[in-house]
Chains A and B, each alone.
Chain A
Amino acid sequence: MNEFVVALGWFGLFAPVALGAIGSAWGCALGGSAAIGAMLDSDGGYGRFIGVSLMPSSQVIYGIVIMFSLQQPTIDAANGAALFGIGLLSGVTMLYTGIRQGEVLASAIHASKAKPEIFGISLAPAAVLEGFSVFALVFALVLSGSIPA
């Protein structure tokens, strides 16, 4: 049983990085596809399209920060479940927000191509999703302080 909890602990420790990386990759691919398409139909402003399409990269960075905050000298039955719970749930959050951020960025790029003046405001939904990722990051850091070493 203890071995299983230890395995879960290791799973939870790396989950934020792995799931965050998947979310970032997926989100950047969605936003990047829209940016590539938009560049075909634009005579300039390529940098800003590519720039915003990279916004979902932050999820994997948050995942790395969470992993380091969860890291313990030893993973055992006392802390394995906590690592699993905090790591997995924060990882799922990074995965979901990364994908959804990519989707709203694709929409924002597409819409701002037709109406350039809304470019800034069209990024607001992506910024809100970024905020949710930050919530998950901050509270994972807070909880990591109470995990028994």
Chain B
Amino acid sequence: MSRPHQYIALVSSLPHLGKLFSRKDVPISGFRLKQRLSMLEPAHASLLREMVEVTAWAGVAGFDRDIDVIRRANKVLADLQAYPDLQHLVGARMETRTLIAALRRRRDGQESAADIENWGLGRWCNQIRANWNDPAFGLGHFMPWVGEAHRLMLAGDHIAMERLVLTQVFDQLGHYGNLHEFDFEAVAIYVLRWVIVERWSRYNEADARARLETLVAAALAGKTDAGGLAGRQDLFSDFTSALEGAFS
């Protein structure tokens, strides 16, 4: 089967994911998805693995410092040169994470974003640095969700915050997904959306609360690596990957 036809078959074999939060389970299991993705060209499978690695918590957890993740993300962005929409998508995901990290750092008492180049990536770094004390970092006029996230974070409503961010990212993926139907980009966007749906299907409020308490306790206990760990989680805590090992 030639590549266009192969990708038509692959995309058609993937079930519709539906709306976010509309179902409790994923329409296709990780195992089945892995089987279907074996139809990908080897080069595309490698690119997809890289994309998932920088966008999923399980992937970035292997890095010790935020700066390493940023370097990795820059490499992925360079590797995606032939796929501008995916490049924009990964860039937008990193920017969203940078904004969330900034909100969390500000809530935790950080007084400025002077060192943002060490933990943030994308177009908004200077904007965040210049508008550190603005609730939405001066971006509220065209990204209203930032102000809403700030409000939810101050209110301590972590679940609503998670929903808001997941919705934002899901919509972002949907926007680019509308531009592609039967190509590699369509498959990659499907997988990234699947990761979000799968993440939400496994979401457990009690577990999330326990994890948060563990992190807070570790930070208060003054563990040497707690600051670094908290910093990483600030930036990359919105997704876990159920595709761990899926591409190996």
The interface of chain A, by Cβ under 8 A from chain B, is 29-30, 33-38, 40-41, 106-107, 109-110, 113-115
Can you report 29 A-B residue pairs in the complex whose CB atoms are below 8 A from each other?
A30-B4, A30-B5, A30-B8, A33-B1, A33-B5, A33-B8, A33-B9, A33-B12, A34-B9, A34-B182, A35-B12, A36-B12, A36-B13, A37-B10, A37-B12, A37-B13, A40-B12, A41-B13, A41-B15, A41-B28, A106-B8, A106-B12, A107-B181, A110-B11, A113-B12, A113-B15, A114-B15, A114-B16, A115-B16
0/1 interface trace, chain B 25-39, chain A, CB 8 Å (1 if under): 000100000001000
Interface size class of B (residues with CB under 8 A): 10 to 19
Give the residues in chain B near A29, CB-CB below 8 Å: 5
Report how far A46 CA is from B9 CA in the complex, Å.
14
Closest chain B residue to A40 by CB distance?
B13
Shortest Cβ gap from B247 to chain A (Å):
19
CB-based contact B16/A36 at 8 Å: no
Residue B229 interfacial (CB < 8 Å) = no
CB-based contact A41/B1 at 8 Å: no
Known: A106-B182, A107-B181, A114-B16. A36 touches B11 (CB 8 A): no
Closest chain A residue to B10 by CB distance?
A37
Closest chain A residue to B18 by CB distance?
A114
Most chain-A CB neighbours within 10 Å: which of B4, B10, B28, B182?
Answer: B182
Report how far A34 CA is from B6 CA in the complex, Å.
9
Report how far A30 CA is from B5 CA in the complex, Å.
6
Known: A33-B1, A107-B181. A38 touches B6 (CB 8 A): no
Residue B14 interfacial (CB < 8 Å) = yes
CB-based contact A37/B8 at 8 Å: yes
Report how far A40 CA is from B35 CA in the complex, Å.
11
Closest chain A residue to B1 by CB distance?
A33
Report how far A109 CA is from B8 CA in the complex, Å.
10
Give the residues in chain B near A115, CB-CB below 8 Å: 16
Closest chain A residue to B14 by CB distance?
A41
Report how far A36 CA is from B10 CA in the complex, Å.
9
Give the residues in chain B near A37, CB-CB below 8 Å: 8-14
Report how far A136 CA is from B209 CA in the complex, Å.
67
Give the residues in chain A near B6, CB-CB below 8 Å: 33
Closest chain B residue to A111 by CB distance?
B16
Report how far A40 CA is from B12 CA in the complex, Å.
8
0/1 interface trace, chain B 194-208, chain A, CB 8 Å (1 if under): 000000000000000
Shortest Cβ gap from A27 to chain B (Å):
12
